[in-house]
Structure 1
Amino acid sequence: MGATYSLGLPRGKGPHAVGCTDVMVGRSQKSLFFRLFYPCISQEGAERPFWIPRYEYYCGLADYMNMNRKWCAPLLSMTFGSCRIPVSWDAPLKLSNKKYPLIIFSHGLGAFRTVYSSVCAEMASRGFLVMALEHRDSSASATYYFKRESEASDIPEAPVQEEWLSYREVPKDQKEFHFRNPQLHQRANECLRGLKLIRSISGGKAAVNLLPTDFDLSSLKDNVDLSRAAVMGHSFGGATSILALVKEAQFKCAVALDAWIFPLENTLYPKVTKPVLFINTETFQTVDSVAKMKKICSLNDETKIITVLGTVHQSQTDFTFLAGNLVNRVFRTRGTIDPYEGLDITNQAALAFLQKHLQLKEDFDQWDGLLEGVGNAVIPNGPLQKSSM
């Protein structure tokens, strides 16, 4: 693309204004940390949150990219530091006569809870409650939790201390699968714990958010449709969504964005009997990974694979909109397709699939053709290439 500036994150195109807040429940590495996107009451002049919330995440991104923190973190901060997400921070939940279906979203390697804000905000604008997790398995470029200064203290107001977790490379003496597979199970279990937390809050149980916020978690009570829950994720998060679908009966379907399917064990494939939508980019997948997706397809007629032409692996992240030409050239954050068009296709296919398998009464079925690979810039099945990982 010829533009020499950042493009900016798209707003959700659905009928609802979108709010978001951060939630951390629990005081250990096993705590749950996520960004919640939800339909909100429209707020004039509401605060727009920064896309990257803390400087530590720039340091984490530098580490993940194997670059020196001293120059890379300030450069990333200069590039992205002023970027904000076009949603209303801490706005009140919009109460409706129908409950909101739930999506739990899992990020990819080296990402964190805010990197998929475009997808999450679009889903919230269409009437979903979206929990974007920040995983604690050392696959996030950075994350943190609070630990008690005194382990004996169970008082909610007790002083707490921030503890940061860094991204971990595969140890040199270990095979990648043996390192990544336990991480995958931890991530899927975090998705299950996320669902359990929302079930608990929706049922009226109080949850203490350790982060300063004006959002009232108890407003979710009786407003979440837990009979309509799906799991979604990108790359490592795509594989996480498939495993979570197998582990949790309450998840009805999964949307796997350019899934990095390698860490899934072979014994798992026959168990993926519920519908999965694989939305692949043109350049990331291999013959082996597409063959594994087809194996999953053979178990359920409703499982679909489509490829969005002109896209690269980062096309399904916010980087595709925010990286200028230099960053794009170095890290291939954009393909040949217009990034807004590429994301529209991804979102519309996901919405059509969710309507079908969560039995929603919306107008998302207008995009059903995409699920068969019919439309501009989309083909059925995997990308046409012969490389291997």
Structure 2
Amino acid sequence: MVKEPEAMGQAKKTKQLRWWNPRRLPLPKGPYVVGCVDVMTGSSASGCFIRLHYPTSLRDAKAHKRNWPKWFMGKDYFEGFVDSMNLNPPSAQYIKLILGGIKIPAVWREPPLGRGVTPGEGEESPGSADEKCKGGARGPPPPPLDTLPVAFLSHGLGACRFSYSTICLEMASRGFVVVAVEHRDHTACSTYYLVPEESGELRREHLEFWKLEKKEYTLRNRQAHLRSAEIRRAVDLMEDINEGRPVHNLLDPTFPFQDFQGRLDFSKAVIIGHSFGGATTLLSLAKDPRLRIGIALDAWMYPVKRVADLPLRLSTQPILFVNMQYFQKRHNLDEMRRLLEMATSPEVVPEGTPSPERRVVTIRHAIHEDQSDSAYFIGWPFGIVVGQQSVAPSPLVSSVNTRLILQFLSKQIDSVDLGEHERFLAKWKWLLKEGLPAEEDKGECSTSDSGSEVGSTTS
């Protein structure tokens, strides 16, 4: 273990990683340029609302920046974001000024990479642009993709479908189709569904964020089950797309879903969730056998704190927990410990059967928000306004977090480059602590209450 003074000396050397760009999130580092599109099915809250991220045949993301979507998608989302964070009006206006123009470096509505198509084919300006472009076009064109692994993402309390775009972009730039679900259980900062009217127009029905000022297990547990049902509907939707069944997207009826037909690989389908989404991840693994791999980011265990909530098939499902040192509390870690001990009990794992990988990693000197896109706003000026800053640079923590996800998946899915991620993580190993803290070790835990997430940006 690296000594604390040496670790802090390393932290001083990473000042250049306090990345902030008033125009965009960072470009992903994988070989494919990412496309994205919103999909909404059904005319009620029980429908499905997702954002798809996927590899495209483009080679130069920057050449298509006019088609990058804004991070904030309208007034309702901004107001919900402000409300969920309890920002006062002056702070809200400042945040709107700073964040209002930030874009996501993914090409809106670009068709997916075709079967057997090499990225760059058909573009007007290949050649030297390939060598200069970063974020989805490094060096020679990457190989074509016939199959695409699928991952589903569940957001935290007060977040929404675009709050984890950095993670989605990195995975999609490496060949994944990432399905970011926007939950309609009143935990999103804002969401809506479309209702047809007699005139033929579609009317928005807004669902506001519910704020609680005290512990409320009954409601949070019910919301966790609603969220899990929404994940299952998203899996159903992606299976329909893969099977070529008709899908009516209320937001974009002309998008070419047929380009995904027969190519989505569900054999090792991944579910990822942050905070409340971490609880949703565990519950979804317990309920849906189509989900094979779980990644829980700073999981908030309170909504599923009873063992009966999680009858997980833990003898077959690899699970990664990535925790932030300044969020996890004793109660939360005790629930994780009990869950992992249950997974290795003789009643769950038959004799002679190897247990799947189950790993817990804590990123030291890091806060809860570092696992969302907020990591790229918190260092400056965002963190000054809301009073939330890591000791370690938040962009660095975000990169380490994403690499841990990709490293874990590389051991389960052959399409991910293991060596690349292990080399990156070895460079920053002083930030990582393996395993759960010992029960008597209180120094690795925050001391604040773990029953509620009120006040956290994306819990």
TM-score for both structures, normalised by structure 1: 0.89
Mapping 1:88-127, distance limit 5 Å: 88-96=107-115, 97-127=145-175
Paired residue for 1:142? 190
Q: What amino acid maps onto 1:341 in structure 2?
A: L
2: CA distance, partners of 1:122 / 1:54: 24
Gap change, CA 1:213 and 1:365, over 3 Å in 2: farther
Which runs of no fewer than 5 residues in structure 2 stay unpaired? 1-14, 116-144, 345-354, 438-443, 451-459
1: CA distance, partners of 2:281 / 2:419: 23
Q: Secondary structure at the match of 1:45?
A: helix
Paired residue for 1:304? 359
Mapping 1:1-389, distance limit 5 Å: 6=21, 8-42=24-58, 44-46=63-65, 47-67=67-87, 74-96=93-115, 97-149=145-197, 158-170=200-212, 175-212=215-252, 215-266=255-306, 267-269=308-310, 271=312, 273=314, 274-298=317-341, 299-300=343-344, 301=355, 302-323=357-378, 325-357=380-412, 359-364=413-418, 367=421, 375-382=429-436, 384-385=444-445, 387=447, 388-389=449-450
1: CA distance, partners of 2:159 / 2:300: 14
How many residues end up aligned between the 2 structures? 379
2: CA distance, partners of 1:6 / 1:80: 10
2: CA distance, partners of 1:330 / 1:78: 13
Q: Secondary structure at the match of 2:83?
A: helix
Which runs of no fewer than 5 residues in structure 1 stay unpaired? 151-156
Q: Secondary structure at the match of 1:271?
A: coil
Q: Deviations over 1:292-342 (max 9, x none)?
A: 112222215511110111211010111110346343034355412223321
Q: Deviations over 1:246-267 (max 9, x none)?
A: 1110111111111111100411
Q: Secondary structure at the match of 1:86?
A: coil
C-alpha contact 2:409 2:416 (8 A) present in aligned 1: no
Gap change, CA 1:369 and 1:288, over 3 Å in 2: farther
Q: What amino acid maps onto 2:100 in structure 1?
A: G
Gap change, CA 1:335 and 1:129, over 3 Å in 2: same
Gap change, CA 1:314 and 1:114, over 3 Å in 2: same
Paired residue for 1:153? none
Q: Deviations over 1:336-364 (max 9, x none)?
A: 2223321222112111222323x324322
Q: Secondary structure at the match of 1:24?
A: strand
Gap change, CA 1:386 and 1:144, over 3 Å in 2: closer
Q: What amino acid maps onto 2:289 in structure 1?
A: A
TM-score for both structures, normalised by structure 2: 0.76
Paired residue for 2:118? none
Q: Percent identity?
A: 32
C-alpha contact 1:107 1:233 (8 A) present in aligned 2: yes
2: CA distance, partners of 1:38 / 1:106: 17
C-alpha contact 2:400 2:425 (8 A) present in aligned 1: no
Taking only aligned residues, the RMSD between alpha carbons, in angstroms, comes to 2.7
Q: Deviations over 1:93-135 (max 9, x none)?
A: 0124431111100000000111100011001011110011110
Specify the structure having the higher radius of gyration (Cα): 2
1: CA distance, partners of 2:19 / 2:291: 42
1: CA distance, partners of 2:72 / 2:305: 33
Q: Secondary structure at the match of 2:302?
A: coil
